[in-house]
Amino acid sequence: MADDFGLFDTDTPAPNPGTGGDGKPEKTPELVYGTAEEFLHEQLLPTYVRSVTGKTAKWCIEWYFHPEAVSRVAALWRSWEHLRLDPATGMSVWWRDHADHHMGVLLNPQGPFYNCDMKEHRDPEHLEPKKAPAGWFPDVRTQLAQESRST
C-alpha cells in the first residue's frame, strides 16, 4: 500500500499550477496515468526494454517492496507527465535526464534489487546509520522560528 511508504507517497496529485497572465486559474492538464504503478506497466517497461540477466542488470518482480524503487518510479511518472506537454524537446529531456538516469540506477546489479533474483523478491538490507554527536545538525526549523520571533 502506498500509505505504508510515508515519505514515498506516489499517488498524491500535483498541486494546481496557479494563475495565468490574465489572473484566471490555469487548468491543470489531465494526467495520462493515474498512478506510478500504472505508468510503470503501461508506459515505462513496455518502452524501456533491456536484457535483465542478473549479471549486468537486475529487476525485482515485486519492485514495490523497495522504497527506493517506488520513489524513483514515481519520479519517472511525474516527470514524464510534465515533460510530455513540451512538444519540442520534452521527451528527449525526459529520456536523457530522467529515464536513462533512474533506470540505470534501478537496473544496476548493485542497485536496490541487488539481493533479488529474477523470480523471487528478497528484502533489502537497510543501511544502519549512527546518530551524529549532539549539535552537529541543528534543526533548521527551530532556528527559523527563533529568527522570526526576534524580527
Residue 11's pLDDT band (cuts 50, 70, 90): low
Nearest one of 13, 14, 17 to 25, comparing CA atoms: 17
User: Do the domain assignments include residue 107?
Assistant: yes
* pLDDT score of 107 more than 80: yes
31 burial level (CB within 10 Å; 0-12, 13-18, 19+): middle
pLDDT attached to residue 120: 82
User: Do the domain assignments include residue 30?
Assistant: yes
User: Do the domain assignments include residue 63?
Assistant: yes
* pLDDT score of 58 more than 90: yes
10, 36 Cβ separation under 8 angstroms:
yes
User: Do the domain assignments include residue 132?
Assistant: no
* pLDDT score of 19 more than 70: no
Task: Find the mean pLDDT for residues 111-137.
Answer: 86
CB count in 10 Å sphere of residue 115: 14
pLDDT digits (tens, 9 = 90+) for 71-97: 999 999 999 999 999 999 999 999 999
- The DSSP letter of residue 21 is T
20, 26 Cβ separation under 8 angstroms:
yes
* pLDDT score of 110 more than 80: yes
User: Do the domain assignments include residue 141?
Assistant: no
Q: How far lies 4's CA from each of 9, 61, 106, 121, in Å?
A: 9, 19, 21, 18
User: Do the domain assignments include residue 136?
Assistant: no
User: Do the domain assignments include residue 139?
Assistant: no
User: Do the domain assignments include residue 131?
Assistant: no
For the chain, the domain total comes to 1
Structural domain of 118: 2-125
